[in-house]
Structure 1
Amino acid sequence: MEAAGCSAAALGNGDPAAPRERGMLPERLQRREQERQLEAERRKQSRQDLEVEEEKSSFLAAALAREREAVEALLRGEDAAGRLEEAAERLQGLRKLLNDSVRFLSNYNLRQGQEALAQLQAALAQRRQELQPGKRFAFRARRNQAAGAAGVDAAPAAEAPASASARVPKDENEATPETGWACGFSDLAGQILEKRAAELHQQDVLLSGLTDCTVRLWGNPNTLRLAQARGCRVLCGPVSTSVFLENCTDCVLAVACQQLRVHTTANTRIFLQVTSKAIVEDCSRIQFAPYTWSYPGIEQDFQSSGLDRSRNNWNDVADFNWLVRGVASPNWSILPEEEWKIPCD
């Protein structure tokens, strides 16, 4: 009897927390179920957001393709001379569409769009050049034929020396990288070079083969290309469309533009204002800082460029050689703030 009483006492008083735990069990299960539902809802929302982004990317890629075809058709037409302005306007619209679509396009589609835009811009410039009246080269050919008929040997044209202007192809129909570039500097060393607003306005500027030069471009070009430069410092006003760097080393560039492409370049500082996104490829030791260059008349140049000064993605850089998500590219970095002063400014 005594043993039975002890057992009963143990059952009644030995584990006073047991009823509370049994009462809390449904509460814990309910919380767990709520957490599970919240997690499922988050995953569902993430899938929906991804589907929306993919749908936007596909739509924008299709729109870019349509506009590209329309511009190409205008440039191919027999009456292209009267349609160049329409092609230029549609090209500007295509540029704006691409610029506004950066957030939604994949890196591949963005790269394809920018390359197509650059090709169309070059095609437009070449078409304008082809349709210019009075080709000097045809006249020179007739003159040389007449000289031959008269039995007089025409003196060979003197080879143009290296000068402060972009190289011109020997034949108008010769396809060279320089075709269509209206002004610039080439094959110079150790010089201070400048161009003013009247020379630069909406021109395609080429800087190539420069070594240890300081270049100041006080104005609003349409495009800027810097190629094969070594140890140069280039300060440029707002560029309406694209800036291209390729095969440059130990340079400093200060520029505002719509888009920036950097290829095969090393140990270069870029002081940048860009409305879309900067892209680097096959590069190393590229450093970025905000564009702070100023000069009298820069506000008017910004207005004529059409750039939106409120949009500046100077530190949003896509590296096409670095595809590891969540890990910073080792090929570019942000310049320390104490070094944001532009050299030679």
Structure 2
Amino acid sequence: MKKLVIKILLFTFPIIICLGLIEFFLRNIPNDYSYKADYLKNKASKIEVLYLGSSHIYFGVNPEYSQYKAFNAAMTSQDITLDWKLFNKYKWDNLKTIVIPIDYISLYSKLENGIEAWRMKNYVLYYDLKSRNITNNAEILNGRFSDNINRLNKYYIYKKYDIDCNELGFGTTYKHAIKKDIKNDAIKASERHSVDIKSKHSIQYYKENTEAIKNFISYAKEKKINILFVSTPVTKYYLNLTKNEQLYSTFSFLKKQIENNTNCHYFNLMNDPEFSEGYFYDADHLNDLGAKKFTIKIDNLIQKISN
């Protein structure tokens, strides 16, 4: 029995070492999450305007066009509870405005329980957040083994890393030169974002996300910081397929917060006529041209509420 155990150990030890090295080298490949975590760790205290939220802000706001010291901390499928957890990790000595997107799905989504739950490992590994899912604690436990080996080759051999944002956190891949079937995409996106707001999961997500918003408001009021809630522009094809009940519940909640807190402001730009189809990458995301226009518009709104 003792010899068998020794043989097993001799066989498994090199495998464990090999897997450990793969994990180590995978974690050291620069990516959007590690970049943003490092940026906020070093420069959060200098930021005047902080953009949070999901892909609508990640691809929709380019702080390079802002007159303020701004940073885009949004990421694809990043929900409001994650926004709050990330926000609490840093010191905001010069923060004047927090921009939080409130879109069609915002109050009813949770990354860890959604179709892109695999992204949660990035918050655990690079932002040091907690997760009850053990697979979120290792790169090697996510995705196919062959894909991870390809990532290693891409970075360590060809020197290509996984950062798709610019220096101020804006996602750069949604170019205006790429043409999408916006009408067809609107159908898929609206179906993906529409929920039964009375379901058990929706009620729980609504509770957690609205609680996070209230936490933001309480913090901002104490620190004399403005919060700008915004519903980002979408195409008419997407807007026409949204469910009134879901929109109404979202707007009703926001209305109550705005009425009760003078430091909070809300702008619904979902149907903004200034954003024609040429400014969209797909049915509900702006392209790089739309992002420039939207950033300047938000800048003007920030200036308006600051006076």
**TM-score, length-normalised on structure 1?**
0.25
- Richer in helix (by share): 2
Q: Please identify the structure whose Cα radius of gyration is greater.
A: 1
Which structure would you say has the larger RCO, counting Cα contacts within 8 Å and 6 or more residues apart?
A: 2
**TM-score, length-normalised on structure 2?**
0.27
